[in-house]
A and B are shown apart, each in its own frame.
Chain A
Amino acid sequence: MKIEITVNGRKRQFDVEPNKLLLNLVRDELHLTGTKYGCGIGECGACTVHLDGEAVLACMVLAVDADGKQVDTIEGVAEDGNLDPVQEAFIEEGAIQCGFCTPGFIMTTKALLKENPNPTEHEIREYLKGNYCRCTGYVNIINAVQSAAKKLQS
């Protein structure tokens, strides 16, 4: 099936089978491998992308269902070679260890801060509960989100 998706601001045409997942389209056809395949069943959040601005799991969306929509991945977050404040905050706060979960966390954090520029710790934990980090725990990640919120407000 012929579809058109705007990926990170660029319109792209694809010819896909109906059973192709958005995640595999992004990773295999566009080679945007920042979005990770973790569990495949909606538990881990590693495949989080924005679909028309909302954080969703790319492993649960059919590529054909994204026809005509806007998909934003981690690769589209930095602008002109400059990291996004959320990315900077994750680095500065040491919120990254192996890095596998980080793209998902950053995409979810961006959605959170767009909705709620100044979240409490409880709100951050609640919003990020669908993203798993198996390296180090969540303290630095929470710190990074708080620091990103401050950066974006200043």
Chain B
Amino acid sequence: MSINKVNTHIIPMEFQYHAPTTLAEASALLEKYGDEAKILAGGTDLIPHMKQRKVEATHVINIKKIPELACIKETSKGIEIGANTKLRAIELSPLIKEKTPLLSEAAATVGSVQIRNLGTVGGNICNASPSADMATPLLALDTVVNVYNREGSKDYTLEEFLHGRGEVKLEPGELLTGMTIPLQPKNAGMAFEKVGWTTFDIATVNVAAVLTLKDGKIDHCRVTLGACSPAPVRVYQAESILIGEEPTQELFDEAVYLIAACVEPRESWRRAPPEYRRKASQALAIDALTRSIEKARRLA
């Protein structure tokens, strides 16, 4: 445990504070200061890290004053969520509860109410933590992320964007503005499962599933696994054996075996050893698949 070995009373470094009100201004600041700058969104990771000197920044760029970055809205393309949208807003949004309930389930598992009133979905993704609780469900929803740079904006699939621990696909001067969750198939059953040290904690393993049934067989299927590899992953092998089959216990057992095979052990794992993660990922995946199937059956 590394709690409070340092003074967390203060931020022991000086920095310049910027609060741009437009994306162009924010991007210019990011380009100007490069690695010396850090984006402040919710602050629930940045501030404790600065207190502990895990992050040193001489420029802090608060993007909360850019109004268009906080929104949840339905468009013809699907649901758009601004990068600065609070996790609490995602948890409580009637639109998200109706269309993509696994996302509000996942948001509700992050920290405490006080943390979710500060923390943002963009921060959760851009920290590029392998255990980001929003990344795993967003990946299962085929989310496309929107990145701003001065020449215009770029779209990446979330899978391209998350390319390994501690890093996302952002060039100097670029920032994540939001994400689009494409329209999901009607009758999709969805579930998110997570286990941590406590219910307050970050995930030791998390799993998301989205699937539909057609004539009693699995039609559309996404299964994603978080906290077990450098970034959350889509488990294509499991999806391909599930699609076109009738959901049975035997089939699920086979699929979760493939999910557990995605666990890539790391030296730095403190929370749980690889064997725990393999077993937990199987158990959580069974729960997620079973719950999604039950919901898909009700909706079919």
Contacts and interface: CB of A to CB of B under 8 A. Distances in A.
A56 B114 contact: yes
B112 interface: yes
B4 A17 contact: no
Q: Is the interface on chain B under 10, 10 to 19, 20 to 34, or 35 or more residues? A: 20 to 34
Nearest to B200: A129
29 contacts: A18-B14, A19-B14, A24-B9, A24-B10, A41-B3, A41-B4, A41-B52, A42-B115, A54-B88, A56-B114, A56-B117, A56-B118, A57-B118, A60-B48, A60-B118, A61-B43, A61-B118, A62-B43, A62-B47, A62-B62, A64-B17, A65-B43, A111-B113, A112-B113, A127-B113, A129-B112, A129-B200, A130-B112, A130-B114
A108 B10 CA distance: 23
Interface of A: 1, 17-19, 21, 24, 37, 39-43, 45, 48, 51, 54-57, 59-62, 64-65, 108, 111-112, 127, 129-131
A20 to B, nearest CB: 8
Interface of B: 3-4, 7-11, 13-17, 19, 40, 43-44, 47-48, 51-52, 60, 62, 64, 88, 111-115, 117-118, 199-200
Question: Which of A24, A42, A57, A111: most chain B CB closer than 10 A?
Answer: A42
Given A24-B10, A41-B8, A41-B48, 9 more contacts: A37-B9, A40-B8, A41-B52, A55-B114, A56-B117, A59-B8, A60-B47, A61-B47, A130-B115
User: Does more than half of chain B's interface fall in helix, strand or loop, or is it mixed?
Assistant: loop
Contact of B114 (A18, A37, A48, A65): A48
B43 to A, nearest CB: 5
A64 B65 CA distance: 12
Given A37-B9, A48-B114, A56-B117, A42 B48 contact: yes
